[in-house]
Amino acid sequence: MIEQPTLIASAAESPAFLRAVSDMGARRPVKTFRAIYNHQGIKLLEGGLAVDGGLYDRLLSHRLTGPLDESLATDLPVTGALLREAAEAAMARLPFFGLMGPVGRVRSMLLQSIEAIPLPPPVAFHLTLARETRPAIFDHGILMALLCAHLVREGGAPIHDMTVAASAGLLHDLGMLHIDAALLDAGNPLTADELRPLYAHTVTSSMLIARFHEYPSSVARAVLEHHEQLDGSGYPRGLCADAISPLGRLLSLCEVVTAMFDGERERPEQRVSLLLRVSPRRFEPSLVPSIHRLLRALPPADETVEATVAESVERLRVLADLLGRWRAAAAASAPGLDPAAAAVLKAMAGQAETLQRILFEAGITPEQLVFLTELAQPDMGLRAEMWALTGELRWHLRSSANQLRRRWRAAAAGQPFPPAVAAWLDEVESFDTVD
């Protein structure tokens, strides 16, 4: 196991972080406020120097004595007032989030809890770096802070607890600044090797936050757990149910909800509604009704979609077939494997059966798909629902494939995938549909 100080130092020296700092230094003032040394005690940079685009080349090959973010400062750093301003802008831009804080006392509490988030200088530097070089990460953190604070307030908690939850939401993805931006922006499915740093970002984020006593230990733990899910299908540790902390369960739900509003995704509210209906066993059940109340309060959406019902049905048939063939591939391959590898396939097959049962409960059966294709004039609402369901099922299959790769690496000790399983993984990765 990597000890905490080593992990923190390693994260602060990551090439992606150095590149982002260099890029920001080339555009706006960034200075060292104290000298920077490598682990051999050699001074690499004097205090008081302006950081420019050459920082990357100067520090890339060195291991530093401490985290780089503890030696750097920039003008106009992120402050509580700026966080409040960004939250208000998000509420004005996105009706779903605007409903969380109608004008009056509730809105004041929500914004106050976000403005009160503690910002030690290294954390403020990370947030400033995100705002300037990776704005999608910053914007996602603002949405997370809003939703986390809202759900805690709905549970009757005081404003202090709202701020704790908002802190976890805002900071949960700081580790993403230590991943190559080009990898995340590629727009194509990532290979298993390319996914490894992505799966590690929860650990990096948690360790970056754990340095500061301004945050309760529950915040660092929840950040570590923000991709865990109640049914054990999450990462990095595959925790189940009560093994995930209450704040971690809150972050897990908020993560999948706010992710639907990232970038230019179409119909985020409909995607959220469908996700929560298709995956009821993955998220904290006491929190989900609050999300549904917000969705019901929204005005009717424009339901125009380009995909026809027939097109969506055909994609659903292919995806449902992939789901069924996964169970067959796992069952046929398990007898020739050692117990650890066979246990991985069995666990994943169990998840596939659960997803198949949920689809049947939602009415997605072969008979129903035939009926849908024979409708003379399907309404636009049905077209939108079918389109969204296709995207959601594809997401579940790709998520399952990525989870299988992770668990196999950990349990199978270098064994190759059985041919039937390898073929299934290739088909899932290559499947193409509309986002």
> For 290-348, what is each residue's pLDDT tens digit?
999 998 888 766 556 666 767 777 777 777 777 778 878 888 887 878 888 888 887 77
38 and 85 fall within a common domain: no
352 and 426 fall within a common domain: yes
Instruction: Report in angstroms the alpha-carbon separations of 235 from 3, 201, 239, 406.
Output: 20, 10, 7, 9
412 and 321 fall within a common domain: yes
280 and 326 fall within a common domain: no
* Whole-number Å distance between alpha carbons of 48 and 44: 13
Residue 150 domain flag: yes
Residue 104's pLDDT band (cuts 50, 70, 90): confident
Mean pLDDT of the 155-170 span = 95
Show the domain range for 263: 80-297
For the entire predicted model, the pTM comes to 0.77
* Whole-number Å distance between alpha carbons of 357 and 422: 24
Domain boundary pick from 297, 323, 339: 297
140 and 32 fall within a common domain: no
213 and 116 fall within a common domain: yes
Mean pLDDT of the 272-289 span = 83
Tokens for 93? 């831009």
Residue 7 domain flag: no
Q: Nearest 5°: phi and psi at 219?
A: -70, -50
Residue 435 domain flag: no
Residue 55's pLDDT band (cuts 50, 70, 90): confident
282 and 364 fall within a common domain: no
Q: Which helix (H) or strand (E) holds 274?
A: helix 268-278
* Whole-number Å distance between alpha carbons of 2 and 11: 12
255 and 142 fall within a common domain: yes
Residue 135's pLDDT band (cuts 50, 70, 90): very high
Question: CA-based angle 65:66:71, to the nearest 5?
Answer: 115
CB 424 within 8 A of CB 408: no
Closest to 336 (Cα-Cα) out of 420, 409, 251, 232: 420
Query: Which of 93-97, 344-348, 366-370 is predicted with the least confidence, judged by mean pLDDT?
Result: 366-370
Residue 10 domain flag: no
Beta bridge partners of 43: 37
Domain boundary pick from 56, 74, 92: 74
Residue 8 domain flag: no
Mean pLDDT of the 128-144 span = 95
Number of helices (H) and strands (E), helices first, in the chain?
A: 20, 4
CB 214 within 8 A of CB 384: no
Closest to 206 (Cα-Cα) out of 178, 239, 246, 234: 178
Instruction: Report in angstroms the alpha-carbon separations of 222 from 5, 79, 216, 225.
Output: 19, 23, 10, 5
Q: Which helix (H) or strand (E) holds 160?
A: helix 159-171
22 and 86 fall within a common domain: no
Q: Which residue has the tokens 């004041």?
A: 108
Domain boundary pick from 262, 297, 332: 297
Residue 9 domain flag: no
- Fill in the DSSP letter of residue 50: B
Total domains, the chain? 3
125 and 50 fall within a common domain: no
CATH code of the domain containing 209: 1.10.3210.10
Mean pLDDT of the 207-236 span = 93
Mean pLDDT, the chain, integer: 82
* Whole-number Å distance between alpha carbons of 373 and 313: 7
DSSP string across 236-265? SS--BGGGS-HHHHHHHHHHHHHHTTSTT-
CB 380 within 8 A of CB 404: no
pLDDT for 8 equals: 45
pLDDT for 358 equals: 63
CB 163 within 8 A of CB 217: no
Q: Which residue has the tokens 């580790």?
A: 175
Residue 45 domain flag: yes
Residue 6 domain flag: no
221 and 291 fall within a common domain: yes
61 and 149 fall within a common domain: no
Beta bridge partners of 32: 72
